[in-house]
Amino acid sequence: MKILYIADLVGKPGRVMFKHHLKKIKEKYAPDLVIVNGENASHGFGLSIKNAKELFNAGVDLFTGGNHSWDKKDILPLLETENILRPLNYPKAAPGKGIAYVDVEGETLVVINLMGYYTMPMVDNPFTMIVDEVARLRDKGYNNIFIDFHAEATSEKRALFAMLKGKVSAICGSHTHVGTDDLVIDEGTFYVTDVGLTGCRDNVIGMDVKQPLDRFLTSVGGKFDVPNSCKKVLQGVIFTIEEGRCTDAFKIKAYDEREVEISQQAYRE
């Protein structure tokens, strides 16, 4: 099975890039499943019902989330009924689910959304939780396992990879909106610290530059905003899983309306 994962789709510019390029990506690389981290898809904060339907209709098969999963309250009922995940390690009383079982060409892919500790809301320990969860899944015969680890600290992401390599198929980091170049396949597990953002690229993490600069210069907070007009980028990864092990992985990137290209192949240990 071949999976396309696009991380941190930010606001209308991100939705525009996704809708513009997805058909060409499918024609060129033929992914069997499209997963998008959509927690910033509605003007940078959360995912609304309107934008969820827009992106499902455009070709998203499943959404993952993060600390902004709750920003648009109208989406909460859909967390219970649709392929929209929120981090698994939120308290059990929180709406929605953090794990999905998806049929891909007659095989089951288990998708897990997990969130880190550093600078994040209060959640259960992701490390102790995921060890038990992966053991449970493997005991039940599920070997195709993908984790979107939504975390600020690169050390948390790398530690999770060190702990789970050889036990899951892929771990992709999200949240920082800054793509990293450490794609690797080790013991059959694909890993990248952060896939990066899909949206505006000529500002600060997809947001208009004014408010971040004001915050740094004055230490006074304010509302971040997604620009109406900007230079845009699409970033994602495509990885292939065979019998629970990743056999190939690479990063794709597109600037504005230019052709989508492979920007980096995963290194094999």
Query: Which element (helix H / strand E) includes 11?
Result: helix 11-29
C-alpha dist (Å) from residue 50 to 14, 17, 117, 145? 15, 17, 30, 29
Residues with catalytic function: 68
User: Which element (helix H / strand E) includes 163?
Assistant: helix 154-164
CB 202 within 8 A of CB 230: yes
Contact 114, 128 (CB under 8 A): no
The answer to whether residues 37 and 16 touch, using CB atoms and an 8 Å cutoff, is no
Of 134, 81, 144, give the one whose Cα is nearest residue 109.
144
Radius of gyration of the chain (CA): 17
Q: Which amino acid is at 111?
A: V
Q: Which two structure tokens, joined as six digits, stand for 63?
A: 């959404």
